[in-house]
Amino acid sequence: QCGYLPNVFHGFHHAVDVLQMLTLLGPLMPWEALLSPAQRFALAVAALALDIGHPGFSNVFLVEACDELAVRYNDVSPLESMHSARLFQIVSVPGTNVFANLSRAQYAEVRKVCIDSILGTDNQRHYQLLSELQVTYEQESELFDLVMDAYNQSPREYPPSELVDFYCRTDARKLIRSFFLHFVDTTNTMKPWRVCKYWSELLFEEFFSQGDTERAMGLPVQPLNDRGKVNKPQVQLAFTEFFVAPLASVVSKWMPPLRLCEDQCQENLDRWSRRWLDTQPSHVEQDRVADRISRMRSGTTMTLRMTSHVLSLRSSGL
């Protein structure tokens, strides 16, 4: 905890939140059948360390400012590289080594899982991970669809042996270790609306603080960091639609018990849609967004509610 700075968003409270979600969602995977005890322990430690030493600035800022971290790590995931390095610096100190009782082989495994999972939280790697998940799903769609049907009929019997065998005989477990911490790191957008909005406000405040620093340093102010121009509902709507929802969707196909995250994500998308519409965007923008969401969630009640809200705004002359 002492290694964390008092950032509005990327502080120790965020790490604890991620760890809590990891321990809640992990058993639903269920990770007991997919990961060894050492791997599960490694993910828990990585969750607590995923933002240790975070300065409250993004990787883009560090590179633009020629920060020492960007120089040290050659502009490649400087924050995440620093977080994982800090973790192993801490455990190298006598009395703080939580891995002390592991064998050499177990330690090597744990170290790799920690590093891979923390590096995987760099959003620059998001679409690569998403693509790997989607490709694997498409290659094994028959199996995954059968598992989904079986889960819908009898959740207590999940996971079936066929799915566990598939995970155990392929690189799927490695992919799970790589993506799961990143997935959990995004779950503040998949929580009940009150909590989702709370974390959103904290993140925007950290963005805006960076924007103020960028302006003071004469650096380009990144699009999300200008407190005088950002339309918060629009940003959250786009982030949820293009970044979070596709991840939640493919994860629920891989692991049906995690469908509750996708359901909440869709509900929050609806909420952000309503708030964005209340900012009175043009009719062209409304139609464009409504069409995208309609295609993404064809036939869902959320799309119908959004369309109804658009029509009500228009009928009122907005």
Q: Residue 171: pLDDT band by 50, 70, 90 thresholds?
A: confident
Name the maximum alpha-carbon separation found in the chain: 70
Q: What 8-state DSSP symbol labels residue 241?
A: I
**Which of 37-41, 174-178, 186-190, 296-300 has the lowest average pLDDT?**
296-300
**Residue positions counted in the chain:** 318
Structure tokens at 279: 């900012």
Q: What is the pLDDT of residue 287?
A: 87
10 catalytically annotated:
yes
Q: Do residues 35 and 176 lie in contact, with contact meaning Cβ atoms separated by under 8 Å?
A: yes
Mean pLDDT, the chain, whole residue set: 90
Q: Is 13 annotated as a binding residue?
A: yes
Give tens-digit pLDDT for 102-160: 999 999 999 999 999 999 999 999 999 999 999 999 999 999 999 999 999 999 889 99
Q: Is 242 annotated as a binding residue?
A: no
Q: Which residue has the tokens 């939640």?
A: 248
Q: Is 12 annotated as a binding residue?
A: yes
Q: Which residue has the tokens 């050499």?
A: 104
Rg (CA), the chain: 21
Q: Is 283 annotated as a binding residue?
A: no
pTM (predicted TM-score) = 0.88
| Cα gap 217→9, rounded to integer Å | 22
Query: What domains, with CATH codes, occur in the chain?
Result: 1-185 (1.10.1300.10)
Q: Is 317 annotated as a binding residue?
A: no
- Between CA 93 and CA 262, with CA 37 as vertex, the angle to 5 degrees is 105
Q: What is the pLDDT of residue 37?
A: 92
Nearest to 97 by CA among 111, 80, 117: 111
User: Residue 30: is the preceding peptide bond cis (ω within 30°)?
Assistant: yes
Q: What is the pLDDT of residue 174?
A: 83
Give tens-digit pLDDT for 227-282: 999 999 999 999 999 999 999 999 999 999 999 999 999 999 999 999 999 998 99
Integer CA distances (angstroms), 269 to 20, 220, 240, in order:
23, 30, 6
